[in-house]
Structure 1
Amino acid sequence: MKWVKKGWVVGIGLVSVLMLGACNQGKTSTSSSETVSTSTTKTKQSSSLEESTTSSNMEQTSSSESSEVTEMSMDFAQIQQGDYSSLQGSWEEVAVSLNRHDGTGNTWIEGQNEQIEISQNQIVDGNMTISGSVLHDGENKNLSFRQADGYLAADSDDGAIIWNVYFYPRGVALADWGEEIPETIDTSKERIVIRTSNNNYIQVFQKSDGAVSNLQTTASQNQMNLSEIKTGDYTSVEGSWTNAQGATLEIANQRIILTDLTGYGEGGTITGLRLDMPDSNGADGQPIVEEGQGGIVSPRYNPELRVVDDAGFVTLNTTYTGALLCVSFLPEGVAGDIQGGDIQQEKIVAIGTQNNATAVPADYVYYRSN
């Protein structure tokens, strides 16, 4: 009996060992399963994080590319093909350089309120028009393009007057335009520089936003506005003007009343771009028709005024008995060919001449008197 109990005990012990092993094996299996599950979850989380990071980077890249597209400036390739879409906007003349023929060479002065208009297929300055590879200033001139130091240049071919047009993107400084570049020229903005060989006259136009343009328009309302004058609008020069000869100009309501236009005491009235000289009119109010040199019969004067752009100023002229009647408007800093006078004031020259419209003694120059 003792043996039987002993064997029973041993049997129970073996069974216990086997069950314990099975239990341990089950625990090990469960632990392994939990490890795999945890690992899988972490892998999914990591993958999701990487995808999120990649997506964020892609969005940032896309945003950066979009910003770059928004900030694109002058498209040189399009410009050379005659497409000026990348130039369209508001432009203002911020500086002018001209040669006064006083031995000092070119001198910078402030902008003279000249305008430049740009459509998709044309660039129009007061004196010329560019379309494709042709510049027109009364005659058609072919343009050749070249790139240098970050800007694009368009040069006209040979002719009486040579033109050079330069396109400067943002961040590209003006090159070879003298040492004292005016502070009004802002390198952070797009600029177009137009040069003509006529007196080496140079204009700098700068692209502006509406706010800047409005401010400058307000500031320039009391200054001689050549662009308006060329259309027959004399708002910017309204008031009384006198010269040292005792002659006067009264400008109001888009009319200019002159006491002496011929130099012989004969005056007239300019309304818009039309001249009326009562002393040279017949009973019908029209210019007297008379025989001139060579037996040619023609009116004493032509009422229609012609607009002529010069180096920094504008002249309105018309024919008068073998000569020209000229009224020239010269902003501050522009001397023309006046013999003396105050260059720092706005000036008007009104005279009958067979020579240069502004080649007059200082006594003939009109200055504001009010």
Structure 2
Amino acid sequence: MHATESLATHARVRTSGPFVVGHRGACAYRPEHTIASYELAIDMGADLIEPDIVVTRDGALVARHENELSRTTDVASRPEFADRRTTRRVGRKKRTGWFAEDFTLEELRTLRAVERKPGLRPLNTAYDGQFGILTLEEVVDLARRRSTPQRQVRVLAELKKPSWSAERGQPMTELVAAELRRLDATSPDGPVVLQSFDAAALRRLRADLGDDGPQMFQLVDIASSDDHLLTNAGLRAVSTYAQGIAPCVDRILLRDADDTMTGVSDLVARAHAAGLLVVPWTLAAENTYLPRHLRSSDDPAAAGDARGAARLLLALGVDGIITDNPDVVVAARAEMATAQPVRQAAA
């Protein structure tokens, strides 16, 4: 494929409508990246489940929000691992804690998952200690087990800081490519879709796995350092290695410093013009994550009108939504699908 040719004519995510991605499972209701969270997301109707992937010392690919483990596991309470606590710069941030790359998979198997946001989601703490850490293989196996001829459940795997890992001697992209080949998961309509903020890593994977390899999404942060990805030229460049973009939802639903919504951007239309799918992240139901007019109260942890936000995104033509609350987006999608024939009949 020529460098300027879009992948839009190649594999696309196949769904009957906008797809729902269970962000770290259904993490509004269960501790993230646990079997319970992923299972619940599927039960709620998610089309894809989204694990974040980090690398262990012995090269295993495991599902954790980040490589620092103390916020999502009980590692800080384990005296046998007290000497592993360290301070490390990860990307632009200096962190102190326990890091996945300092543990073997066997050691991580002894840890138990805990709720990452206990202040915001206190009910989830009832599940602390009940579930272990999963590998990418186990998440893919779950998706395959729960798929049927009528409904394919897929995995949207986010690679966490792969270039940083490579600099430390852990070539994440090579490990991921090898694992997908081992799992027979390299086809464009297979069980795994890949995403990352790291454009260089996605390019490496596209070169390794080929144009007919797994579908890929370029994650885009709200930070100005990612602005270049969303220019028309940037979108065309993304289309040479990825099938879509996954922008922060605030790139589409625009807000001011007071979280008042000020309008919507033209990003969806421009990305579609470049042949890219658009799958924003992350829609969550708590007031703290919503524009001011969709909040139910001043309580940041109370549920606001996330369904209203989902309806707005769907009306703007997004191809999917990454969400902590799959049930909310599934309901909004059904509502929009029901309303569409009525609008067409009226016209």
TM-score range, shorter chain: under 0.3
Higher RCO, 1 vs 2 (CA within 8 Å, ≥6 residues apart): 2
TM-score norm. by structure 1 comes to: 0.27
Q: Which has the larger radius of gyration?
A: 1
TM-score norm. by structure 2 comes to: 0.28
Higher normalized helix content (fraction of residues): 2
